[in-house]
């Protein structure tokens, strides 16, 4: 694994937390991803008045990393003011299962950053959805595949 320590990654996530945009809940979360080569990519939650459009810190960090061409993640730290540390939501767990399946997940309360809980992505989402199913239509006796379109 890269030279960055667990506590260094937690510090990076805590720093990212300070940049969270949480005007509605005031629940600020920071995340930091670590690549095998030692790069750290951060993200913070961004809220919207339309709550469904809100994006978690873990996803922001992951999207920042992926769109910068980064892959091969070994760890992710998530920090917020929450007893025992903030646990990733289901959507974040799904994306971690897809793009960082072997990463360690470290969570910490911002008031106790040296008290870190560790999980594997598989522990957090043991039965992840990892394949797009092939959909078949019967058309004049033949099967044909439907193209997968954009969601948004």
**What H or E segment, with its residue span, contains residue 79?**
strand 73-80
- Which residue in this structure is represented by tokens 């979360």? 29
145 in Cβ contact with 135 (< 8 Å): yes
Torsion of CA 64, 33, 53, 24, to 10 degrees: -120
Q: d(Cα 101, Cα 98) in Å, to the nearest integer?
A: 6
Q: Which of 58, 118, 131, 138 is catalytic?
A: 58
* Residue 58 annotated as catalytic: yes
Buried b (16+ CB within 10 A) or exposed e, 39-60: ebbbbbbbbeeeeeebbbbbbb
By annotation, the residues acting in catalysis are 58
């Amino acid at each position: 694994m890269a030279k960055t320590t667990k506590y260094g990654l937690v510090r990076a996530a805590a720093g990212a937390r300070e940049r969270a945009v949480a005007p509605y809940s005031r629940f600020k979360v920071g995340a930091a991803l670590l690549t095998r080569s030692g790069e750290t990519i951060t993200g913070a939650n961004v809220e919207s008045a339309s709550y469904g459009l809100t994006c978690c810190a873990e996803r922001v960090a992951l999207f920042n990393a992926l769109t910068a061409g980064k892959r091969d993640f070994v760890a992710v730290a998530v920090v917020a003011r929450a007893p025992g540390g903030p646990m990733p939501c289901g959507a974040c767990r799904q994306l971690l299962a897809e793009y960082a399946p072997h990463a360690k997940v470290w969570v910490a309360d911002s008031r106790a950053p040296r008290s870190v809980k560790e999980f594997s992505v598989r522990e957090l989402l043991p039965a992840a959805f990892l394949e797009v199913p092939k959909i078949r239509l019967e058309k004049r006796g033949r099967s044909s595949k439907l193209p997968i379109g954009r969601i948004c």
